[in-house]
Amino acid sequence: MYDKTSSAQFKKYGSIYDEPKDLHSDELIQREVVTTDRVISSLYHFSEPVYVEVKDGMAYILIGDSSDGEFKLFGIHRNLEIKANMYFNIIPMMDQVKFNLIIPPNYNLNIEFLNPPYEYNRILPTINIPEIMAYYYTIKSPNYKFKGERHNIYELTFVDNGTLETSIDNVSYTLNSYDLIIYGKNQLHTQNVNSDSSCSYLTVMFDMECKDDSLICNRVFHCRKELYKAIRTFAKNISSTLPYTQNLILSNFHEIIIRLFQYDYLGTESDKLPTETQQYFQDELLEGILAYIDKMVCEPITIEELCGKFSVSRSSLQTLFKNNLNTSPKKYINDLKLAKSKLLIKENKYTISEIAFMLGFSSIHYFSRAFTQHFEISPSEYAQTVFKS
C-alpha cells in the first residue's frame, strides 16, 4: 500500500503546499516536463530545495535520501517542496503526466543513474475469464461411462463426493472427494464412475486468456480450505437471481482460477478440510466470540476470559482463529483496538492518553509504540495528518 505525499511519512523527504509558486517574486526557474516513463533509470539530485507542481495527470514520486539506499513511492497529493540532497523522479499513474519542476537560479543538479532501473508495476490482470459458457452439478450412478469429447474451451470438474476416473489424451487420473481438474482446449477427455458408489461433481465450461495454462491443466488439485471456500461461494451464487449476479460469479470463478495458479506457492498446513458439521460449529462459535470482542473492545480482554466465557480450551481457541482468520486471538484483539483508536482520533473528542485508557492499554507509551509499529506512524503524527487534510 502506498502513502500520499500529504502523509506524515513524507516529511522525511519534503512537504506540501497549496498555492503555486510565484516565479518572479521568488526568483525561481521553471521547467515543464512531460513524461510517460514507468521504468526509472535516473534520478534528480539537487543541492537546494526544489518544487514539483503537477499540471496534468496523476503521478507518483519515487524518492530517497541516498542514491544506493531505500526508495519509497508516494502518490502525489498537492504541490511538493523537495528537501535538498534528495534523489527523486516522477512516475505517471496513467499514460503520461505533465509537471513543472521549479528550481532556484543558483541550482546544482546531478543526474544519478539507477542500476538496475526501478520499474513501477501497474496492477493489471494477467488472467482473464471473459465468459462462462455453462455450469452444472451432476450425480452419476455406479458404472457410469462417458466415452469422451474435445472442445475449444476449458472445462473444470470438481468432485464433491465419491470417486471419478478420468483421462486426458489417454493419460489416466483419479479424482476423489474435494479434488478438481481442468481440461485444456481441444483435449480428449473421458469420465467414468467405476466404484459401487455414486459420484457427484460440478462442471464449469469457460473461456480463459492467460500466459501459461499448463500450470493448471492436466493435474489433480486437492482443495485446500481457501480454494474450497471459493468453490462453495461460486456454487452458492450461481443460483442467485439478484441483479449483477453474472458479474459476481465471474469474479468468484476468477478467484478459483487464481488460487489454482497460486497453489504451488502456498504451504500445506491447511490441507485438511473440516466437515460440514465441524465448519458450521466453528462458524457459530467464532461469530459469537468476534461479536463479544467487538462489544468489549474498550475493555482489557484476556484470552482466559474468552476461554471461560465460551467454554473452549486455550489451544482450541488458538486453532479456531488460526484456521479461520489466519491470526491469533491476542493479535486480533490488539489489531481491533488499534483500528478503533484511529476512529477515535478522527473524532477529535479525546486526547491520545484518554484513547489509550479507554481501549484498555496499560500505558500511553505501550499504546503509542503499538500504534506506531502497526501503522508506521505515531498517534500524534496521525492526528496532525487527519486534521491537516
The per-residue pLDDT for 169 is 95
**Burial of residue 260 (number of CB atoms within 10 Å: 0-12, 13-18, 19+):** buried
Residue-range domain boundaries for the chain: 3-119, 127-262, 293-387
CB 272 within 8 A of CB 279: no
Q: Which backbone phi and psi does 277 adopt, to 5 degrees?
A: -65, -45
Instruction: Report whether pLDDT(274) > 70.
Output: no
Q: What is the pTM of this model?
A: 0.67
Instruction: Report whether pLDDT(285) > 90.
Output: no
The per-residue pLDDT for 238 is 85
CA atoms within 13 A of residue 352's CA, in its CB half-sphere:
16
Section 207-229 average pLDDT: 93
Mean model confidence pLDDT for the chain: 89
Section 49-76 average pLDDT: 93
Torsion of CA 29, 32, 33, 34, to 10 degrees: 180
Q: With cut-offs at 50, 70 and 90, classify the pLDDT of residue 321.
A: confident
293-387 matches 3-119 in CATH topology: no
The per-residue pLDDT for 273 is 61
DSSP 49: -
Cell for 383?
A: 492526528
Nearest of 115, 13, 15, 114 to residue 72 by alpha carbon: 13
CB 114 within 8 A of CB 103: no
DSSP 251: H
Q: Tell me what percent of the residues of the chain surpass a pLDDT of 90.
A: 58
**Burial of residue 116 (number of CB atoms within 10 Å: 0-12, 13-18, 19+):** exposed
Instruction: Report whether pLDDT(30) > 50.
Output: yes
Cell for 77?
A: 497529493
What's the CA gap between 98 and 63, in Å, rounded?
18
Tens digit of pLDDT for each residue in 351-380? 999 998 988 888 899 899 999 988 888 898
The per-residue pLDDT for 27 is 87
The per-residue pLDDT for 276 is 55
CATH architecture designation of domain 127-262: Sandwich (2.60)
CATH number of 293-387: 1.10.10.60
Instruction: Report whether pLDDT(329) > 70.
Output: yes
The per-residue pLDDT for 277 is 46
Instruction: Report whether pLDDT(270) > 80.
Output: no
Q: Class assignment of domain 3-119?
A: mainly beta
